[in-house]
Chain A
Amino acid sequence: MSAVAGTHAQDQHHGPARGFSRWLLTTNHKDIGTMYLIFSFTMFLIGGSMAMVIRAELFQPGLQIVQPEFFNQMTTMHGLLMVFGAVMPAFVGLANWMIPLMIGAPDMALPRMNNWSFWLLPCAFLILLSTLFMSGGGPNFGWTFYAPLSTTYGPPSTTFFIFAIHIAGVSSIMGAINVIATVLNMRAPGMTLMKMPMFVWTWLITAFLLIAVMPVLAGVLTMMLMDINFGTSFFNAAGGGDPVLFQHVFWFFGHPEVYIMILPAFGAISQIIPTFARKKLFGYSSMVYAVGAIALLSFLVWAHHMFTVGVPVAGQLFFMYATLLIAVPTGVKVFNWVATMFRGSLTFETPMLFAIAFVILFSIGGFSGLMLAIAPADFQYHDTYFVVGHFHYVLVPGAIFGIFASAYYWLPKWTGRMYDETLGKTHFWLSFIGMNLAFFPMHFLGLAGMPRRIPDYALQFADFNMVSSIGAFMFGSTQLLFLFIVVKCARSGEKAPARPWEGAEGLEWEIPSPAPYHTFTTPPDVK
């Protein structure tokens, strides 16, 4: 392994520039990755605060703290911020940091465009958050912004919302193009496709999904823009359009989008479990094909979000069976993770704790997804708290735990220092308990008939809602501990060796910790 940077003193390989211009003008994948991660965590805290407002209002029945209009803005913004501002950028940040290190590339393929992708995000979310202060308030129609609620009945700021999401979409598309070009073109000699780490594989497929569906989101946003401002009738039956068309186009984006938010977590977990089981990943190639199969199926299942809207029976059956089929490749993955741990020399450091919780709790979210996929049953669950419980089980212990696991796993590589293991474990257990307390009762609430997106509810739902709120406060406040852990690690953690985890394999562990500013300017040889 001859490729450690620092020995390259040619003109174009300086260290980082000083001051704020380092971050503003950078073309370095590590700087950009760091900015993505910080941005994502900021959005996570802001979006999380909105969730706290929601849970505070729902602590008891009756209107307590906020008005219904504001409550609606909170549910909408919470969803938008978490999906487009927290989860997606966190994974792009991880991709930026880790993909070049994992495939032995000097940087991302298109470094300047990479920086543009990042800086568009603060711009987009500045505009989005500013809508809260405009006359008529911010978006209040749910993060799915169904027409005609968002077109005919939306607040004036909806136009700003549309452009904000457009900008975030442009950022995602460019980020994804960069990932694909990097993976396809920048691998070190010998790094064949089937030798790539799973995290790189999952991101390659995620990037394909992003490029395929973000333009469709742009399309549906543009249709809304035209209906609102230029008198078109895409979603207006009076002119021959159809509000249901909105749902079809939106969910054609929306369903692959949920895989965009989970596949990179699959990849990260597939790196972490083998490390702490001290065994090779079980069934590598079946993992790759399973991710591919999930991605392809994700294009054929969108109408399972719309069973109650009046989809013809043949359509309901098709979308039901196609959806249930996704359980097969997902089952392959869960089986392989468990088989990797089977008879391994397991240790339970913080990344591993998050990874194991991921496998178990994500599976629970998957099972409730199967329940929702069954069309006749969905008529009962649709738009209830059961749905809220379901997707929080796949997104919080799925996507978010995947991100936390990755952060703890690679923090020593990023900062050159170890985090505090006791604090990390505390963070895990408080998050684990808080999250289950917050989201598990939602299933019962939904089955009992409590609708989602309401600020007030009938008295029989009071107990479970109170439990859920307590769990949410616990989970929310615990995340400040994570901030403390990261700052403490970066400032005064113990120095980390190049390979802080005994069982870790891969190119990223061959370079020193912290990773030098420029790595692999000459490609390494991959055995």
Chain B
Amino acid sequence: MADFQTYYVPEQSKWPIVATVGLGVTLFGAATIMVASNQAESTNGGWMIFTAGVLIMIYMLFGWFGSVIKESRSGLYSPQMDRSFRWGMSWFIFSEIMFFAAFFGALFYARVFAVPWLGGEGDRGSSNMLWEGFQATWPLITNPDPEAFPAPESVIGAWGLPLVNTILLVTSSFTITVAHHGLKADNRKKTKIWLGATILLALVFLFFQAEEYVHAYQELNLTLQSGIYGTTFFMLTGFHGVHVMLGTLMLIIMLIRIHKGHFTADSHFGFEATSWYWHFVDVVWLGLFVFVYVI
């Protein structure tokens, strides 16, 4: 075992318990807000709990990642540790894929089964008796019960902003790869420029996405409440948007770390993990573009 380097098992750490309290308080606060607003009660208490939880989470994230970075930079991590991180990140991304799969599944089920059945098609067509005269269309512009779920006037076409956004995200996948090549060649300037470009593309994407939401809500009456089309549209693009935000934050942190001189040409898993995550977000968008906007 000449090449054996002891696997680093960290000492006691307060971060897991801080993270538990943070997550628990945040979600308890969120639930309190929701329940109170459903019953038309004051949500102030809920917001206070929620804010406290978020602050604890922010403190934890800085502290926990900070100590991991410190350990990594002081050379405590062996190649074996590096592989643990790689497995961890890969399986985390796999779990994210399965999360999105649930929502894509809901979209497919609604389009292929639920809506046509409500319109009287096939074996289950008897559900048409619930709302006689309901016509199944996709996008669903008239809901079975328009009073409970007022329908949108129209939906967002694929070939305007969504196409631009697709180009932006695909390009950003290339730019981050160029940045990665720069890091591997120890060309920091190249890395900074192309990573900066990636962040810029991400921010423009988020801006356009926000623009699209405002347009949908204010002019098209396309909202979360406008039936299954609005539901699947906003849940899929919304969760994707949240992931882009998170990814952008990670990219910004990577830029700061590179600026500070972190990482070496052959050891920079933090950067790689961010880039994996970014590619994952990109691929999800391609699925969204095809199944939510185009088809």
Chain A proximity mask over B87-109: 1 for CB below 8 Å, otherwise 0: 11001101110110111011001
A388 beta carbon closer than 8 Å to chain B: no
B266 CB contacts on chain A under 8 angstroms: none
B290 beta carbon closer than 8 Å to chain A: no
A283 beta carbon closer than 8 Å to chain B: no
Inter-subunit contact B105/A249 (CB<8 Å): yes
Chain B proximity mask over A488-524: 1 for CB below 8 Å, otherwise 0: 0000000000000000000000000000001001110
Inter-subunit contact B114/A237 (CB<8 Å): yes
B38 CB contacts on chain A under 8 angstroms: 156, 228-229
Inter-subunit contact A186/B7 (CB<8 Å): yes
Chain A contact surface mostly: helix
A195 beta carbon closer than 8 Å to chain B: no
Chain B proximity mask over A304-318: 1 for CB below 8 Å, otherwise 0: 000000101100000
Interface pick from A71-79, A162-170, A266-274, A366-374: A162-170
Question: Whole-angstrom distance between the alpha carbons of A239 and B145 in the complex?
Answer: 6
Inter-subunit contact B118/A237 (CB<8 Å): yes
Chain B contact surface mostly: helix
Question: Whole-angstrom distance between the alpha carbons of A343 and B193 in the complex?
Answer: 72
Inter-subunit contact B106/A212 (CB<8 Å): no
Inter-subunit contact A233/B228 (CB<8 Å): yes
Inter-subunit contact B224/A226 (CB<8 Å): yes
B182 beta carbon closer than 8 Å to chain A: no
Question: Whole-angstrom distance between the alpha carbons of A245 and B113 in the complex?
Answer: 9
CB-CB contacts below 8 Å: A126-183 with B: 126-127, 156-157, 159-160, 162-163, 166-167, 170, 173, 176-178, 180-182
Question: Whole-angstrom distance between the alpha carbons of A141 and B122 in the complex?
Answer: 31
Given contacts A109-B87, A184-B87, A230-B224, contact A115 B13 (CB under 8 A): yes
Give the residue among B16, B98, B110, B122 with the most A Cβ atoms within 10 A: B16
Identify A240's interface contact among B83, B94, B102, B228, CB under 8 A. B228
Chain B proximity mask over A226-244: 1 for CB below 8 Å, otherwise 0: 1011111110111111101
Inter-subunit contact A239/B15 (CB<8 Å): no
Q: What size tier do the contact residues of chain A reach?
A: 35 or more
Give the residue among A28, A181, A189, A238 with the most B Cβ atoms within 10 A: A238
Inter-subunit contact B84/A166 (CB<8 Å): no
A166 CB contacts on chain B under 8 angstroms: 27
Identify A238's interface contact among B87, B113, B144, CB under 8 A. B144
Inter-subunit contact A245/B106 (CB<8 Å): yes
Question: Whole-angstrom distance between the alpha carbons of A109 and B7 in the complex?
Answer: 9
Q: What size tier do the contact residues of chain B reach?
A: 35 or more
Inter-subunit contact A180/B87 (CB<8 Å): yes
Inter-subunit contact A119/B16 (CB<8 Å): yes
B39 beta carbon closer than 8 Å to chain A: yes
Interface pick from B29-37, B172-180, B278-286: B29-37
Inter-subunit contact A123/B110 (CB<8 Å): no
Inter-subunit contact A241/B12 (CB<8 Å): no
Question: Whole-angstrom distance between the alpha carbons of A110 and B88 in the complex?
Answer: 8
Shortest distance from the beta carbon of B81 to any chain A beta carbon, whole Å: 8
B64 CB contacts on chain A under 8 angstroms: 112
Interface pick from A19-27, A57-65, A474-482: A19-27
Inter-subunit contact A241/B110 (CB<8 Å): yes
Given contacts A109-B87, A160-B31, contact A115 B16 (CB under 8 A): yes
B143 CB contacts on chain A under 8 angstroms: 233, 238-240
Given contacts A232-B231, A239-B228, A240-B114, contact A211 B7 (CB under 8 A): no
> From A16, which residue of chain B is reached at the shortest CB distance?
B12
Identify A220's interface contact among B1, B31, B102, B224, CB under 8 A. B102
Inter-subunit contact A123/B35 (CB<8 Å): no
Question: Whole-angstrom distance between the alpha carbons of A116 and B234 in the complex?
Answer: 32
> From A118, which residue of chain B is reached at the shortest CB distance?
B16
> From A164, which residue of chain B is reached at the shortest CB distance?
B27
Question: Whole-angstrom distance between the alpha carbons of A28 and B38 in the complex?
Answer: 44
Identify A252's interface contact among B21, B99, B105, B122, CB under 8 A. B105
Q: Knowing that A110-B88, A228-B38, A237-B127 touch, tell me 16 more A-B residue pairs with CB under 8 angstroms.
A: A27-B13, A107-B9, A111-B9, A123-B21, A159-B35, A163-B27, A173-B95, A226-B224, A228-B34, A230-B224, A234-B228, A237-B114, A238-B149, A239-B145, A240-B227, A240-B228
In the A-B complex, list the 8 residue pairs whose CB atoms are closest, starting with the nearest: A219-B102, A240-B228, A238-B145, A116-B16, A242-B114, A231-B225, A239-B149, A215-B99
Seen from chain A, the residues whose Cβ lies within 8 Å of a Cβ on chain B are 10, 12, 17, 21-22, 24-28, 105-107, 109-113, 115-116, 119-120, 123-124, 126-127, 156-157, 159-160, 162-163, 166-167, 170, 173, 176-178, 180-182, 184-186, 189, 211-216, 218-220, 222-223, 225-226, 228-234, 236-242, 244-245, 248-249, 252, 310, 312-313, 518, 521-523
